[in-house]
Amino acid sequence: DILADQIAAGEVVERPASVVKELVENALDAHSSQIDIYVEEAGLKSIQVIDNGEGISQADVLIAFRRHATSKITDRADLFKVKTLGFRGEALPSIASVSHVSLETSTQAESAGSLVEIKGGELIKQQPSSARNGTKITVTDLFFNTPARLKYLSSRATELANISDIVNRLALSHTDVAFSLVSDGKTIFKTAGNGNLKQAVSAIYGLTSARQMIEFSGADADFAVSGLISLPKLTRAARSYISLLINGRYIKNFRISKAVVAGYGSKLMVGRYPLAVVNIKLDPLLVDVNVHPTKQEVRISKEEQLEFLLTKAVSQALSQENL
């Protein structure tokens, strides 16, 4: 049902960055160790994601474009227990209903792969492909049939910044995967995928920044926190440079970010924010997943306890430095 897919797309696919997010999450779910992302004109001309993951079998390739065709999860409460990022089976059909998608994919087990093209929800091509091991998905003509969406987009620079922002976080939360992001032929960043957080930070935010970041950690009965925070002399004008990961999943939470900032006390000027990557480990039962389709906003039980722990851990790490 193309109309239903377009309605779902209104929620899942707000802008080019949402497409990038969904495609990269699919590549991560497919256990890729390398993910290369190419965008042209901030994703409005094209978005391409190439992975070396498990691929989709010939029998499943069209099913993947059907709504709620996910095999990844059975219960929403499982979300922070399971390893997969996708679980709704909405992304591919939604994206394909508002763009032109070309998907080339193959699995290790099958001798031939598949090439399918879908435009505005209609299958326009399906043939065997000789591509090996992994998936290449290309999205062009985004929002060609939903002009209102197109009009609502911000400037190219802003849309590209949104794309970088989401890819940064996905790369920081998966340091064992080699990422590259290329925009209009120019490499924005490239991570090694060797599991080293400091190296990933260096690839994304630059070596100078990475050198001015220190480790912090702390734990109590319910939470373990760790990661990298910048020294007070290295600050940013936006809170978005604080990346929060819960059990490896990137989330947004204003109060938790604030707790990180609070750890700096008066060391930070008003309106300035640290650069930080904050890993939070907890029992999945303590996470209350918000129903929003993009799955980034979550609520946490005992959140005040976590905020207290974070503020203390950050403040302790900073007090051990010669500032």
Output the six-digit token pair for 107: 């699995």
In the bound state, the residue with its beta carbon closest to ligand ADP is: 86
The smaller minimum CB distance to Mg ion, of residues 26 and 191, is found at 26
The smaller minimum CB distance to ligand ADP, of residues 53 and 113, is found at 53
The DSSP bridge pattern shows strands 100-106 and 113-119 to be antiparallel
Instruction: State which of residues 8, 19, 27, 116 lies at the interface with ligand ADP (CB under 6 A).
Output: 27
DSSP 8-state code for residue 284: G
Binding partner selected for residue 55 from Mg ion, ligand ADP, none, CB under the kind-specific 5 to 8 Å limit: ligand ADP
- Residue 182: C-alpha distances to residues 103, 211, 248 (Å): 19, 25, 24
Distance CA 223, CA 246 (A): 10
Query: According to CB under 6 A, which residues from 130 to 169 bind ligand ADP?
Result: 135
Residues that bind Mg ion (CB under 5 A): 26, 86, 91
The smaller minimum CB distance to Mg ion, of residues 36 and 90, is found at 90
Instruction: State which of residues 15, 21, 88, 119 lies at the interface with ligand ADP (CB under 6 A).
Output: 88
| DSSP reduced 3-state for 3 | helix
Told to check if 51 binds ligand ADP by CB under 6 A, we report yes
Instruction: State which of residues 8, 42, 91, 246 lies at the interface with ligand ADP (CB under 6 A).
Output: 91
Binding partner selected for residue 319 from Mg ion, ligand ADP, none, CB under the kind-specific 5 to 8 Å limit: none
Sole window of 47-55, 156-164, 195-203, 215-223 interacting with ligand ADP (rule: CB under 6 A): 47-55
Distance CA 223, CA 279 (A): 10
Distance CA 221, CA 229 (A): 23
Distance CA 42, CA 163 (A): 8
Q: How far is the CB of 125 from ligand ADP (least distance, A)?
A: 18
Distance CA 197, CA 187 (A): 20
Question: What is the torsion angle, in degrees rounded to the nearest 10, for the CA atoms of residue 25, residue 26, residue 32 and residue 36?
Answer: -70
Q: Give the total residue count for the chain.
A: 323
Count residues contacting ligand ADP (CB under 6 A)?
23
Q: How far is the CB of 142 from Mg ion (least distance, A)?
A: 17
Told to check if 56 binds ligand ADP by CB under 6 A, we report yes
Half-sphere exposure of 197 toward its Cβ, with a 13 Å CA cutoff? 18
Would you give the binding string for ligand ADP spanning residues 246-275, x where CB under 6 A is met?
------------------------------
Q: Which residues share a beta bridge with 5?
A: none
Binding partner selected for residue 277 from Mg ion, ligand ADP, none, CB under the kind-specific 5 to 8 Å limit: none
Residues 6 or more apart whose CB falls under 8 angstroms from that of 297 comprise: 251, 252, 253, 290
Enumerate binding residues for ligand ADP (CB under 6 A).
Answer: 22, 26-27, 29-30, 51, 53-56, 64, 69-72, 86-92, 135
